[in-house]
Homo-oligomer: A and B are copies of this chain.
Amino acid sequence: MSYQITIEKTKNPKQKPDEHNLGFGIHFTDHMFTMDYTEGKGWHDPKIIPYSPLSLDPSCMVFHYGQAIFEGLKAYKSVNGDILLFRPRKNMERVNISNERLCIPPIDVDFAVEAIKTIVRVDQDWIPKSEGTSLYIRPFIISTDPYLGVRPSNTYKFLIILSPVGAYYKEGINPVKIYVENKYVRTVKGGIGYAKTPGNYAASLKAQMEAKEKGYTQVLWLDGIERKYVEEVGTMNVFFKINGEVITPSLEGTILAGITRDSTIELLKSMGVKVTERRISIEEIYEAHEKGTLEEAFGTGTAAVISPIGELNWNGKIIQINDGKIGEISSKVYDTITGIQSGKIEDPFGWIVKV
């Protein structure tokens, strides 16, 4: 497949926000990428146009039946001025995994990576340079048939928007308190849990809100069948270090196959750390704590990269992990991955793609 991306530059560039007060997902750049899908014609008309509202019929299927997917990755400006992407192909491959589950036609992975590079190049002046900042890239697909019947849409829109984002940890990386969710369930085997689709996030809001009210940053999801096995923490994958071994839930169709998760596993193995992907129960984690072998716990995701867990509350039983401080492994993984992402550390894994 070969497409020509047409580029229409904005005539009214926006004022750029203060780099030291960016937040996350609040500011958007001057341009966006769009491409349409029409049944029988395939994906067509890729273009970069000024960032602008979408005009959609109120009957547009995405509003009613949620047939949509999204991705998230970041571009970094290295000290020598290079623009770096972190494993963008992985994200575009995952688009097609999500698409397949949501009955959305596949995209061309190579072209989609090219589209990301092109839009990032067009808006490269928007990539912030301060420590910890980056340009968040949000590719997403929405179903656009103006039709109220429940079936897959015949038309779609693929968009890429960009948001300069601040450092996740403004005052240094700090362990968070996590509530082990015992009432709500995110998903179950046979469902859409492994797809990056709006419905999974909609399903997570109430648990997240209630945890916040109790003073917790996020929830740790348990499996929907036995309410026993650990799945994800908030919108991140989760890792536990027990007696020197790092354990993370195996991919069994209910959790997202995180790219930071994959990178963490690869990095830990290269460091000689034993990493096991398997089912791990919340009882096992509490028992390890009891025995004094639960050494660290952390979440992995694009936004935070690593989010150390300092406290768990499971049915009122509260445990502190590593005295509520960031652990050695968490720290090492965070420094290495963010170092590679920002070009400060040599990349021995072939993860970095220069724009």
Enumerate A39-83 residues with CB–CB distance to B below 8 Å. 51, 53-60, 62-68, 70
Partner of A102, one of B26, B146, B202: B202
Structural contact, A152 and B205, CB atoms closer than 8 A: yes
A151 within 8 A of B: yes
Enumerate A172-202 residues with CB–CB distance to B below 8 Å. 183-192, 197-202
Partner of A202, one of B28, B140, B185, B192: B192
Structural contact, B189 and A64, CB atoms closer than 8 A: no
Structural contact, A63 and B208, CB atoms closer than 8 A: no
Structural contact, A188 and B224, CB atoms closer than 8 A: yes
Q: How far is the CA of A55 from the CA of B58 in the complex (A)?
A: 10
Chain B nearest CB, measured from A345 CB (Å): 28
Per-residue contact bits, chain A 7-26, to B (CB 8 Å; 1 contact, 0 not): 00000000000000000111
A101 within 8 A of B: yes
Structural contact, B136 and A205, CB atoms closer than 8 A: no
Sort chain A's interface into a size bin: 35 or more
A275 within 8 A of B: no
Partner of A199, one of B63, B184, B203, B206: B203
A355 within 8 A of B: no
A58-B159, A59-B28 known; A68-B190 Cβ under 8 A: no
Structural contact, A198 and B199, CB atoms closer than 8 A: yes
Structural contact, B201 and A66, CB atoms closer than 8 A: yes
Per-residue contact bits, chain A 151-169, to B (CB 8 Å; 1 contact, 0 not): 1100000010101000000
Structural contact, B185 and A191, CB atoms closer than 8 A: yes
A103-B209, A208-B150 known; A187-B191 Cβ under 8 A: yes
A149 within 8 A of B: yes
A148 within 8 A of B: yes
Structural contact, A66 and B202, CB atoms closer than 8 A: yes
Q: Which residues of B contact A188 (CB under 8 A)?
A: 185, 187-188, 191, 224-225
A101's nearest neighbour on chain B, judged by CB, is: B206
Q: How far is the CA of A19 from the CA of B25 in the complex (A)?
A: 47
A185's nearest neighbour on chain B, judged by CB, is: B190
A100's nearest neighbour on chain B, judged by CB, is: B206
Partner of A66, one of B28, B68, B149, B186: B68
A32's nearest neighbour on chain B, judged by CB, is: B58
Q: Which residues of B contact A184 (CB under 8 A)?
A: 190-191
Structural contact, A64 and B140, CB atoms closer than 8 A: yes
Cβ contacts A to B, 10 pairs, < 8 Å: A28-B59, A28-B146, A103-B205, A103-B209, A138-B148, A186-B191, A189-B224, A190-B224, A198-B199, A225-B225
